[in-house]
A and B are shown apart, each in its own frame.
Chain A
Amino acid sequence: MTGRVGSFAASVVALALLLALPQFLRQYYLGLATRMLIFALFAMSLDLLLGYAGLASLGHAAYFGVAAYTIALLILRAHLGSGIAFPAALVAATAIGALFAPLALRARGSYFLMITFALAQVVWSVAFGWRSLTNGDDGMPGVPRPNFGWSLDSTQSFYYFVLAIVGLAALLLLAIVKSPFGRALRGIRESESRMQALGYNVWRYQFVAFVLAAAFAGLAGALYAYFNRFVGPEYLFVIQSAEALIMVILGGAGTLIGPAIGAAVIVFLEDFVSSMTQHWVMVLGIIYVLVTLFARHGLIGLIVDYRQRRSEP
């Protein structure tokens, strides 16, 4: 019981802190915090697939990027407003998820990684190669932020916009993983055959998890297009997919808060290290190796391990 009270108190403190952030942070760091929130959502969406459904995808950037491109194309090419473009982006990401899921779900383990990787690469090649539509690797600058009655052009107002959306999405994800559906997913993760024997349609659960993960990734991608006012093919590239994986692992798969923390840490490190040294790529590589070797349970796991070790004489 005290655990629940403490948890609630910590949540309130965290929320208050997030709400107060614009009062303390300089503009640039507020932008960085916005980026952290967006990638926290991206990582949490992948965690639905990886941590709960037990499916490791190396192509999660596809849905992120498809949503971002949908926004840019509809606004800049078709001259539609965000009122249409924003929901359309979510629909597009969800649709691509629903299209890819049956192809990917035929495989497991390394095959699943490879097929998701290949499918994302196909989307990347379209964004990269169809220059007349997408500008290829020049990308599409000048994506205007939505204006739902109030302007989101300032760093502060956009931060609150992102905070609200990511907060709502996180609550929704929490509700999903707490629901019977979420419990069934965890059951499938532990043993597909047992759940099958219990009469669960395993494929259908995995399909829904896959599509939901794609939809939330799309939400993150749409926010990112507005945040940067730019979309480019690197949003779809394997590096982006791998980054989401490392965020989830670093934070701790199978919890929602873990990947969010992992995302914040990675976004901060990238920003910090790339200003310190031009060899940040190597540093990033070393982080991948170290996280895999030593933070196998994620930061969340480290805390639990530490607690357990302390409580055991």
Chain B
Amino acid sequence: MTTKETVPFGVTLAPSADQRAARRRALRAIAAAGAAVLMLGALDPSARADDAIKIGILLPLSGNFAENGQQTLTGLKMYFDEVGNAAAGHKLDLIVEDTQGKPDVAVTKARKLVERDEAQVLTGVVSSGEALAVNEYSRDNKVPLVFSGDAGADELTMPGPLLNPYVVRVTQNGRTVSAAAADWAYKKGWRKVTLIASDYAGGVDVMHGFAQSFCRLGGKVTQENWPPIATADFGPYLTNLDRTADAVVTFNPGADGLRLGRQYSEFGLKGKLPVLDIYGTVVYESNLAQLGDAVLGMYSSLFYTPMLKTPENERFVTEYRKRMGSMPSNEGPNGYVGAHALVDAIKAVNGDLNDKMKFIAALKAVKFPSPKGDISLDKYGMVIQTMYIREAEKVDGQIGNVPIATYPNVDQFWPFSEAEFESYKYTYKDLKGSLTDCGKVLAKK
């Protein structure tokens, strides 16, 4: 007879008898566990004798950002596979860790990759929260970090407190994609626009990038709508939308973009108010078939579209579809370009990553054609690339984002010079709610 049945679960779990004995045994159990930990510590998983170069990949593979992580990983692996997972005579060891989309987990995993697995360079990173946290780790511990996931916060590669000499970014920043959109919108003859953007740092960054360029050309934002991330219902915003504007500019990543696309036509706005979708969050590749005709005619701006007719891109799309069974959006090409930059830089330093600054310099010097277009980097380690304005059209029965305008060699300050960009008084962080005020947006220091 044991006491099992008579001891209820929960609040009275504690065995009333033998508590002291239990504790003694528990302490022994701790000692045993401690010994196990010691053994684990002594085991050295990375102490293999070969001279492989270890690349730590930090991507969200579970949780809400899992799809972004998975696509970026596919892009990375595609390029590494292309070069046979080797560069400069060294084998490339890819060690993937799941960040779960959480900044603190991302840092823990970065630590694990560097301190336990002895990764010599980190890459990946999707959300801006993860990016800011891992950036900090990379700087404090002098670990080269190549952003090949979204990681779009402007200040990561601009002069300022966050600038990290060990960082290189081949993806994009918040403002340039929207600066190109603003230029195109003005040339199209639009002078007044309203906007709907997700209410977070990235959303404000993007819309500030738009307003700054649009104001300087002579346009104006008439109204700002900031639905929170994961807004279930855009009804209130769509009902309130300024219908006298020439167009609506949108930026709503994730499920928000899909909902907005559907609800926009439901609320009768399609055909009345054109949409310019920065980053293509509504016309995201996996949304197109789901939204169907509702997206036809929507404009968007991005540094990529799978419809590009270049040999690099056509080869990339074919292989990507073979692996994933779907069209690539921005993540796959970003991962692919990140891997390409890493491999080129490893070759340039002959596989010796011990001189970190030399390796970073080699990364900053890479230059190659890619599925996204021609890639090079500036002195801060930020990518210089092509921006595309796209229009959702039916091509052979499938809806796709067809490029209708091209902005080559866009650097992170475009269309401004670095000096002019730095002369503005306010950054995006100060301007949410003031984007309708061109005087404030363009105020000089």
A interface, CB within 8 angstroms of B: 3-4, 6-7, 10-11, 13-14, 17-18, 21, 24-29, 31, 33, 35, 50-51, 54-56, 129, 131, 135-139, 141-142, 189-190, 228-230, 232, 234-235, 249, 252-255, 257-258, 261, 264, 271, 274-275, 278-281, 296-301, 303-305, 307-309, 312
Contact = CB atoms under 8 A, between A and B. Distances in A.
Nearest to A279: B62
B369 interface: no
B22 A131 contact: no
Interface of B: 1-4, 7, 9-15, 17-31, 33-34, 37-38, 40-42, 44, 61-63, 66, 97-98, 100, 102-104, 107-108, 111-112, 115-116, 127-129, 132-133, 135-136, 199-201, 228-229
B133 A230 contact: yes
B26 A300 contact: yes
Contacts of B104: 139, 228, 230, 232, 234-235
Contacts of A18: 34
Given A31-B111, A129-B228, A297-B7, A232 B26 contact: no
A307 B2 CA distance: 10
Contacts of B37: 21, 25, 29, 33
Nearest to B28: A10
Contacts of B27: 7, 10-11, 13-14, 257
A39 B226 CA distance: 37
B20 A229 contact: no
B34 A17 contact: yes
A3 B24 contact: yes
Contact of B112 (A6, A28, A138, A296): A28
B26 A281 contact: no
Given A138-B103, A278-B98, A305 B33 contact: no
Contacts of A135: 129, 201
- 10 cross-chain pairs, A with B, having the tightest CB-CB distances, nearest first: A254-B14, A10-B27, A138-B129, A54-B11, A28-B115, A278-B61, A28-B116, A25-B41, A141-B133, A7-B24
Nearest to A31: B111
Contacts of A303: 22, 25-26, 29
Given A14-B31, A29-B41, A255-B23, A280 B12 contact: no
14 contacts: A3-B24, A14-B34, A21-B34, A25-B38, A29-B116, A54-B11, A54-B12, A228-B108, A229-B107, A279-B62, A299-B29, A300-B15, A300-B26, A307-B22
A118 B203 CA distance: 29
Contacts of A261: 26, 29-30, 33
Contacts of A307: 18, 21-22, 25
A205 B10 CA distance: 20
Contacts of B41: 24-26, 29
Contacts of B15: 297, 300-301, 304
A258 B127 CA distance: 37
A28 B103 contact: no
Given A11-B27, A50-B11, A308 B38 contact: no
A191 to B, nearest CB: 11
A6 B133 CA distance: 46
A308 B29 contact: no
